Amino acid sequence: AVSRRQQQLPARQFVGGKVPLGLKRKGLRVLVTGGAGFVGSHLVDRLVERGDSVIVVDNLFTGRKENVVHHFGNPNFEMIRHDVVEPILLEVDQIYHLACPASPVHYKWHKTNVVGTLNMLGLAKRINARFLLTSTSEVYGDPLQHPQVETYWGNVNPIGVRSCYDEGKRTAETLTMDYHRGANLEVRIARIFNTYGPRMCIDDGRVVSNFVAQALRKEPLTVYGDGKQTRSFQYVSDLVEGLMRLMEGEHVGPFNLGNPGEFTMLELAKVVQDTIDPNAKIEFRPNTQDDPHKRKPDIGRAKELLGWEPKIPLHKGLPLMVTDFRKRIFGDQDSTAT
Ligand code: NAD
Ligand code: UDP
Ligand code: UDP
């Protein structure tokens, strides 16, 4: 049988000359759950820019209206305040499912990952939409393999303090594959590694936002544990490019989307000092339970199959985020203050 998607595509117009991976294809109806959040709002900007009709479904739990307010009044943009834990009826061609309280202080919300993802898969099945899940590098837990390849199954404590996030996303991946195999749904899975940039929550406890806000406020940078644990930090525009290539491409995944540049937390603190305030102090704090010791993506698969790799290194991306944080913390009138 010819799907609605297949019937519709030939009618859609391409704009511009050479179209890289269909990224400039015009006129799809796209649902972005969590679209008022940090990553989602940048994705929405790109989709609106290329001419799609975008619906954001967000309960504004960790997201902010300010992140998408510049689209209000655009007939191709709509925001629905709704919790994905409740069913919803919509008609779209693609679903980017990002809704999830991602930050550490909101880890309790396993339900969004499980019930929310189930509902969005049910929706995708009913309307035959392509479904992209934003999973996470946390599915690898405290990895015993380094760097992490997509074929690695992970090392996760199912009853640990982080497990509602790790296991929630692992269940979301399982559900996504169940609907793919069982209901023939077109799905895509991205495993996102630590991402930073403008519009990140200021006080949600993630390390880059903490350090930047602390340095700007002249507070000491709080390094947990000995600061030798590592993470890889990706600038948000690189991630959005990867998500769109994944959605438009022909491969289910999972794909690691992250920047392979690996930093200890002490090295990150140094980059923040160099960027904002060389005199910023460092204060050591006890680390949280089950904190992964290291994390770095192997992005070979995304490079080969999606033609994607990140372009913005930490020392280039961080100042872009600092400009945004300065404005939000001090207000425009004082945006040159440190
Ligand atoms: P975010 O908190 O800024 O965005 C999440 C959005 O989802 C928010 O706008 C929030 O209000 C919304 N939301 C939460 N629960 C909801 C619910 N029940 N119903 C409707 N909306 C709901 O976080 P983000 O960093 O933009 O993360 C986006 C996605 O990417 C998440 O799925 C997250 O797990 C994933 N991810 C992010 C990172 C990262 O470093 N930023 C890393 C790995 C994975
Ligand atoms: N669902 C939804 N919107 C839809 C279709 C389904 O929110 O347009 C929800 C539905 O309420 C259910 C979930 O998605 O809780 C899974 O739907 P599915 O049809 O796969 O399972 P079933 O309802 O048959 O158990
Ligand atoms: N971290 C830190 N200081 C902070 C916040 C976090 O040293 O103020 C550490 C944390 O212990 C972890 C790393 O930074 O080792 C990344 O933490 P984050 O919560 O940003 O991301 P995740 O652990 O989910 O990768």
| Angle (nearest 5°) at CA 154 between 148 and 157 | 135
Evaluate whether ipTM surpasses 0.95.
yes
Best residue for ligand 3 mutational test, from 217, 231, 234 (most atoms within 8 Å of Cβ): 231
Catalytic choice (96, 140, 165, 179): 165
Residue 27 near residue 10, CB atoms below 8 Å:
no
Which residues have CB under 8 Å from 25's CB, separation 6+?
A: 12, 13, 14, 19, 50, 248
Residue 165 annotated in active site: yes
Predicted structure pTM score: 0.91
Query: Over the range 255-276, which residues count as b (16 or more CB within 10 Å of their CB) and which as e?
Result: bbbbbbebbbbeebbbbbbebb
How many helices (H) and strands (E) the chain has is answered by 10, 13
Band of residue 332 on the pLDDT scale cut at 50, 70, 90: low
Which of 32-46, 60-74, 91-105, 202-216 bottoms out in mean pLDDT, i.e. has the lowest? 91-105
Closest residue by Cα to atom 7, ligand 2, is 87
Q: Is omega for the bond preceding 10 within 30 degrees of 0, making it cis?
A: no
Percent residues over pLDDT 90 in the chain: 78
| Angle (nearest 5°) at CA 220 between 216 and 223 | 115
* Residue 26 in this model has a pLDDT that exceeds 70: no
Residues 270-322 pLDDT 10s: 999 999 999 999 999 999 877 888 899 999 999 999 999 999 999 999 999 99
Best residue for ligand 1 mutational test, from 32, 33, 38, 135 (most atoms within 8 Å of Cβ): 38
